[in-house]
Amino acid sequence: MSQRAEVLNYAAARIRACDGERMNQLDLRNRRAVVTGGAAGIGFAIAQRMIASGASVMLWDRDPARLDRARSELGAQAIAMAVDVADNDAVERAARAAEASMAGIDILVCSAGVTGPNTTTWEYPVDAWRQVFDVNVHGLFYCNRAIVPIMRKTGYGRIVNIASVAGKEGNPNAPAYSASKAAVIGLTKSLGKELAKTDIRVNCVTPAAVRTAIFDQMTQQHIDFMLSKIPMGRFGSVDEIAAMVCWLASEECSFSTGAVFDLSGGRATY
């Protein structure tokens, strides 16, 4: 498929998802959500749909300027805090601030992530490996760890961790990203089982590639490889990811926990 055709497919999917008359209205009324990486890309789309469904959302992102723009676009139901999720102390402070500001936290979506460079495992820079794990694994762990006790106070919560189909299948020349997303899947399964007898549900989604600014971190060769693996012949849209995540963040998601939900255009085989 040509790049132009892929882009047209992407645009059409986005239009369908954003059509207010067609979009399913999920019930997130009066829910209080924290979305990491919420100032752009998948995180912003999730925050946007949550607000449209009645939630109040606190955006966590490490880019203050981008946070200001996102908050302005999202309106009064959004608040923002500059947080580096790779810093456990900063996450702990932000969790306490979010609890105080919103009088509790019902939903956590961990969307912050980096890809790292595209190169073979034996040539992979050690510092880059650590950076990918600091954000994608340690940062996500810090957020889950800090917010679960807040949810346990009320006995209710929904956690959605953003993993990747790369964590299930492994992408060549992306060893740190693939391994980090496999770790997200494992953590989600563990935490989901630990909380299974409460009303706190923990699930993750495994998207195939979605065209966002994160593509700027990848080589064109790697982008082309990812597209070639998707049977639908196009990348996903952020709105398609948001639709699934927001259902998982709703009260209706009551009998799924520690589970992995694919958004891969037919790529995933298990």
Residues with catalytic roles: 177
Token pair listed for 239? 């709105």
Phi (first) and psi of residue 58, to 5 degrees? -105, 125
Token duo for residue 55 = 């939630």
Cβ pair 259, 41 in contact under 8 A = no
